[in-house]
Amino acid sequence: MHVTYLMNDVDVTVEAKAYIEKKIAAVAKLLARSERAEVEVGQDKRGLYRVEVMVHEPGQQYRAVEEEAESIMAGIDAVEVKLQEQIRDAHDKRRALERRGARSFKKKATIDDAARF
């Protein structure tokens, strides 16, 4: 997966980038085909780090809205949890729609009494 970093007046250490990529890889495991991710890190006047992540999959994109934390690592942890919840919800919704369609097809399908099995 290709990770793009957007840093707004923030210097991110090599360790923080490695941690970010590790967490993004954990999220990418839940996706069938994830292409790229965008990580935006900024710092506000209070000294809190603002972290936002968007993960792109063909036909779908998941976005963790801005999380504010005292460190970049804590912000990434919160973003990871939100992304995992979004991905699980989307998968559950897709699975429910498939099952609902199968049930409606089964109700409409009739078997002829004269059929031999």
The whole-number pLDDT of residue 84 equals 92
CB 64 within 8 A of CB 82: yes
- The 10s digit of each residue's pLDDT in 12-60 is 889 989 999 999 888 888 887 877 889 999 888 888 889 999 998 888 8
From the CB of residue 92, how many other CB atoms can be counted at a distance below 10 Å? 10
pTM of the model: 0.77
Domain total for the chain? 1
Residues 6+ apart with CB under 8 A from 99: none
Tokens found for residue 10? 């923030």
Looking at the domain assignment, is residue 115 inside a domain? no
Full domain range(s) for residue 48: 2-108
Write out the E strands in 12-105. 36-43, 49-57, 60-69
Res 89 pLDDT > 90: yes
How far is Cα 19 from Cα 72, in angstroms, rounded to an integer? Answer: 9
CATH of the domain at 80: 3.30.160.100
